[in-house]
């Protein structure tokens, strides 16, 4: 499985993941969002896919490494 999708949690953490519907039995799909584990904060949260263009500078740093 390739982690090629940027995912954000309800607390603003961002991390790389994969967004494959039905891939996890612990996932509950809620329209465009779903409940799952935040890899960055290690907590349960509503997750959503985000486009790279939506990221803040801090989030970019977290994903791509600080300049
Ligand atoms: Zn989080």
Tell me the CA–centroid distance for residue 16 and ligand 1, in Å: 12
Tokens of 56: 């803040």
- In the chain, the number of structural domains is 1
Q: What does the pLDDT average to over 7-36? A: 75
C-alpha pair distances (Å), 49 with each of 28, 53, 67: 15, 12, 24
Tell me the CA–centroid distance for residue 64 and ligand 1, in Å: 17
Tell me the CA–centroid distance for residue 57 and ligand 1, in Å: 17
What is the percentage of the chain residues whose pLDDT exceeds 90? 52
2-11, 25-34, 49-58: least confidently modelled range: 25-34
3-state SS class at 29 = strand
DSSP 58: H
The domain containing residue 14 runs over which residues? Answer: 5-64
Query: Residues within 5 Å of ion ligand 1 by Cβ?
Result: 9, 11, 13, 38, 41
Output the average pLDDT for the chain.
83
Nearest to 45 by CA among 20, 11, 22, 14: 11
């Amino acid at each position: 499985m390739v982690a090629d999708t940027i995912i954000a949690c309800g607390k603003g953490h961002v991390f790389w993941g994969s967004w494959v519907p039905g891939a996890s039995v612990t996932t509950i799909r809620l329209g465009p969002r779903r409940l799952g584990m935040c890899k960055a904060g290690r907590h349960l949260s509503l997750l959503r896919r985000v486009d790279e263009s939506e990221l803040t500078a801090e989030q970019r740093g977290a994903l791509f490494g600080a300049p």
